[in-house]
Structure 1
Amino acid sequence: MESLAVNVIDVTEQNFQQVLLEESTRRLVLVDFWAEWCSHCKVLTPLLEKLAEEYNGQILLAKVNADEQQAITAQFGIRSLPTVAIMKDGQPIDGFAGAEPESAIRERLNAHLPAPWEAAVKDAMALMAEGRPDEALSLLREAYVLSNEEFAIGLLMAECYLDLKRANEAATILDAATMEQQLEPKYKELFARLELMQEAADTPAILELQQKLEQDPDNLELKTELAVQFSQAERVEESLQSIFEVLQKDKNFQDGGARKTMLDILNSLPKGDPLAVKYQRKLFTILH
């Protein structure tokens, strides 16, 4: 049976099985036992209704009129009103009697609900499976911040960066791993990929230009050419840094060609990409 497209429902013997048993396999169900004569119920029930709407599909408030649904009330062994049972997978996992403050109820709910960033991570993993790491990254970055930089999310970000051949950013994440985290199989797999990518990144053209620049470090033509070569090797950050150094020296170099090169590299990055934002700001400071 499909999930109920509501956040609040009245429970009867007719819908008891779907609401309390089947629906609780999909989301948390708060079973609110109340009665018209109960003054505390008149305070608690509206609060629960507000929370059910606010959590927007994560919980279902199932209201049981204890006077009208005595069989259900007896089945739960309810001795006083209001009483709230929290159900998951057809079983009560928590609950309380009396009118608890909103903060305490939120604390109970959050203890049993997925972390707020888990949905974003799930969506990001689906995008990665579809070969869309650039779109996955935007979701993962937000989740990474919200989760206080949870290592598992960092590994997913590093994987996306490697898929995009952005070795420097992958290395930044992997280099921050603790000794214990480095023992994880996923870390070892990604680190091996990073090493292979770094070894393959130094093309003959890049090595030649780097050697020439060591002899002539102020040669803007060489730096521009190196930026293009870095970009073609998908070493994006090094490409941006190289062309930015050219523009710092001469913002009109090559009659604006160097500026166009930098803008082309920036436009190749996903919208809102932190690297793009960083270098857009840098470019803005020297052009204005």
Structure 2
Amino acid sequence: MLPHQRTAPDPLARSRRDGHLDPKRRKTIPMTDIIGGTPEGGTQAQLVKDATIETFQADVLQASLEVPVVVDFWASWCGPCRTLGPILEKQVQARGGKVLMVKVDTDKNQMLAQQLRIQSLPTVMGFIGGQPVDGFQGALPESQVSQFLDRLIDAAAQAGLGGGKSPAHDPKALAEMGEKALEENDFATALQAFGASAEASETGSDGQVTAFAGMARAALLGGSPEQAEQFLGMVPEAKRDLAPVAQVRAMMELSGGSDVPPEAVENALKAAEASPQDPEAHFVLGEALADAGDTEGAMASLLRSIELDREWREGAAREKLLKIFEALGPADAGVKSARRKLSSLLFA
């Protein structure tokens, strides 16, 4: 297991909790080629379309990088769906391209509905910047549907979308969007955002290298180490020692032991408990915990090994600890705490 992997969040959880949009969450890039032309010049067919699991990424995730997209999850047997659908279409068309509508028949796209955790029909989700930012369930009155669309459009405008304008290609903002997606375990969107950041960055710049490293992290956390290697291969040789690249390399090393038997941690824990003053026992436990993805426990065990004998095996525990620091990054709260403890042990 890789450090900081979490279960995927419910895409509507934030909107259910807050009841409003957070328009400053993401920056965007123009994606006019996805839907054909600018939103202002779109035809009615472009304003409302049907999507499948095969077209969802292009019709929704990528299209919402330029214009907000509202997705209606429905089924033919659902009475409230037949009430809401025409209202939603009417309100979308009345806004002349400021928002697009995509319809998903959940009976024909059950896997997609499961992936997005659609639990009741109709369900409507609003997407901005490749992410779900608001939504509702049930057939709302037309006035509330109108208010929902207006909120979505206002949020998109504050983020730089809509009105036929193409938002600036901001590599830093796109990279921030990728980081946000990684925090939410949305590896596909993270890969897309980092890729856009790489394209918008100056060739060979540190910003582009950071974007390549972000692509590699997204691929690695998404379970594709081979693809991660390919992305790291895009980094110029002269810049392969930069911190973002080194972080991904460290993550790869930590994930290399993910096939360790489940009993390895238990056995190592028993050994450490049986020999509490043995630096090797705590080192072995730290390695086992790191392989299992428990970086917090690993750091604690390695610090204990250093406390018992900082020179054991030529500082092996310290070397392993620094590798974990590198993989998690300097901003990680656990790393900050462990660094302070390490300093106190080494310089006391």
Specify the TM-score bucket, using the shorter chain as the normaliser: 0.3 to 0.5
TM-score by length of 1: 0.39
TM-score by length of 2: 0.32
The structure with the largest alpha-carbon Rg is 1
